[in-house]
Amino acid sequence: MVIVGKVTLFRGTILRTPTDSPVIFVPLNSMSRIIFHIDVNSAFLSWTAVKMMREGAPDIRLIPSVVSGDPSDRRSIITAASIPAKKLGIKTAQPVSMALRTCPSLTIVRGDWEWYKQCSRDFIAICRSYSPILQQFSIDECFIDMSRHCDGEDPVAIATRLKDEIRDKLGFTVNVGIGSNKLLAKMASDFEKPDKVHTLWEQEVPEKMWPLGVRDLLWVGKKTEERLIANGILTIGDLAKLGMGSLTQLVGQKFALQLHENANGRDDSPLETESAEAKSYSAERTFSKDLTDPKDIDRALFHVACIVAHRIRKDHFRASTVSMFIKYKDFTVAQKQCRLPRPTDVTALILNEARRMLDEVWDGITPIRQVGLGVSKLTHESAVQMSLFEDPKLDYYREWDRQYDERKARSKSSR
DNA sequence: TCTGGGGTCCTAGGACCC
DNA sequence: TCTGGGGTCCTAGGACCC
């Protein structure tokens, strides 16, 4: 992965993440690296299909189908779409209601997070058996460094064996992209799908990557694409040949350097084999219709505060910063954050700050579409600092949290 | 047609200290 | 009396990823 702001042009340096967890620096000679990027095809849809077929259902991958949140909620969006659905123009992140207009007979299935995590573990385990130098990039993607694991064999043959093994043992398909760095491997896995192996070596960049539109380059999103196109930069090749001066004017120095390197197929970032600790936690809720009643908003804020606080307690964190936001029906966001005098994991203390900030940020009239709450500046400090100004109800709050966590644990184990 | 949920990182401006 | 520059912390807002 190429992390903006961590462009690693210092070969041979051991990098440390801001949390100071070690990052393994892999290549001895980065020119000879062989990196695979393995990407599950329509992951949530494929995984759901595998589960349904075990229960005797037909294969939903072969028909127009999608995975979404609650399908009865008109605000649900599509999390994953089958290839036949994509051919009809249905896209990930599209509202379900919109997809249904395109295809009234669309099959909609509900996601199952626990099952997805199981599928992910199984898929990662097979990848790891090909190389222990593995970076999990998301629930359905990983990189492996095959530089020392090819033994003179053609990487394409090995990648083909890997993808076939996953398909035959687990029942779902993957794409494998092969390149001399993570960027190229990731770009390659995005070529024709499903169940394919592609290479993108540095010497293939002009032929295979430069003709693609700028948006196909990793880290070029909608806004950057608009800006580039407005300046006549249409393809990755255009971007590669653009001088740093002009590019800096368009996107700023740091990002310009990143884009320039990447468009030329260069990326020295190492595989990060240890998963970094979380830096923030958040939860948000979108209402099925926009709300104006303060009681409803407060109930939602309470709900997300419980979720976030529970999760940091589970991971033994305390947070020093609380943030909250509200989103209006035109999608504009008002947000507020504040620093706590001491790090905490107590739901009530987090909620109280959020409530105070809600009062500052919301006029009490404008309808609200969504509320969210987050915490950051996390520590594992467990020493409780006593303060003269400690909330006298703290013991009560902690007991409330303890019971909440216990209920959560019980409901999880009984599932 | 009407847009979820959960993350990461960057930038810019203001406050404050030395 | 009037002025500097660097460093750090904080907040708000924006862009990107899956």
The two tokens of residue A394 are 């703290």
Angle (CA) A268 A25 A377, round 5°: 95
- What SS3 string covers A354-372? HHHHHHHHCCCCCCEEEEE
Scanning residues 277 through 336 of protein chain A, those with a beta carbon under 7 Å from any atom of strand B turn out to be: 278-286, 307, 311, 329-331
Nearest residue: Cα versus C1' of B9: A4
Q: Which residues are bridge partners to A275 per DSSP? A: none
Distance A147 CA to C3 C1' (A): 59
Q: Could you give the maximum distance between any two Cα atoms of chain A, in Å?
A: 69
Phi-psi region of A336 (alpha: psi -120 to 50; beta: other; left: phi over 0): beta
Q: Nearest nucleotide, C1' to the C-alpha of A337? A: C11
Q: Over 50: is that where the pLDDT of A2 sits?
A: no
For A330-353, what is each residue's pLDDT tens digit? Answer: 999 999 999 999 999 999 999 999
CB A82 within 8 A of CB A59: no
Number of other residues whose CB lies within 10 A of the CB of residue A201: 15
Distance A403 CA to C11 C1' (A): 35
Distance A152 CA to B6 C1' (A): 41
Mean pLDDT for A249-269 is: 95
CB A33 within 8 A of CB A136: no
Decide: helix, strand or coil at residue A313: helix
Residue A261 falls in the annotated catalytic set: no
Mean pLDDT for A143-167 is: 97
Domains detected in chain A: 2-38+124-202 (3.30.70.270), 43-114 (3.40.1170.60), 209-263 (1.10.150.20), 279-413 (3.30.1490.100)
Mean pLDDT for A155-183 is: 98
Mean pLDDT for A319-338 is: 96
Helices assigned H by DSSP within A231-287: 236-241, 244-251, 253-263
The two tokens of residue A267 are 């990326």
The catalytic residue among A55, A114, A141, A153 is A141
pTM of the model: 0.90
